[in-house]
Amino acid sequence: MGPLDLREHPPRSCYEELDGLMLMPRTIDKLRAQLPGGHPGGYFINGPMPGISGFLLQRLGIDEAELSEAIAVAGNDDDVAAWLRERVDTATYPELNETLRRIRPKHAGNPALFAEIYAETLAAHPELERIVDVIEADDARMFPGRTRA
């Protein structure tokens, strides 16, 4: 899989799934942005605080560097899904998806920093209660009218 420049467009939606696991396509895009020739923009797995992709990898028991290596040699998402199936019990995906859908900003690794990073989006959308919805709105704010990776 080739590198991505996430200054040009956002990664895929939090809600997009790979092999039944939400957030994995987005996580793949963020790791592709770290490949030579890519650029992560403001996106991270575990940056100034653990991100939701970092939470996903931690819950799966997958090392970020190992997944990054798998993505670097993968031809497509299906290759990454196969790599994951060799390491993770896919029967856990539905429960993990439900957890990902429920996480609120107060559950962030650093709620104050989360509020700071997403301040503009949170101010424009005070009705948003879940992290994935805040992230979706933030992508739309930063890239109005742009398509995703």
Q: Tell me how crowded residue 66 is: count the other CB atoms within 10 A of its CB.
A: 12
Give the helix ranges, DSSP H, for 10-129: 24-32, 52-60, 64-73, 77-85, 93-102, 111-117, 119-124
pTM over 0.85: yes
Region 86-101: what's the mean pLDDT? Answer: 97
Calculated CA dihedral for residues 29, 34, 134, 120, nearest 10 degrees: -140
Q: What is the pLDDT of residue 48?
A: 82
User: For the chain, first and last CA: distance in Å?
Assistant: 12
Position 18 scores a pLDDT of 98
Position 100 scores a pLDDT of: 96
pLDDT tens-digit map of 9-63:
999 999 999 999 999 999 999 999 999 999 999 999 988 888 899 999 999 999 9
Residue 46, pLDDT score: 85
Sign of CA dihedral 141, 49, 33, 14: negative
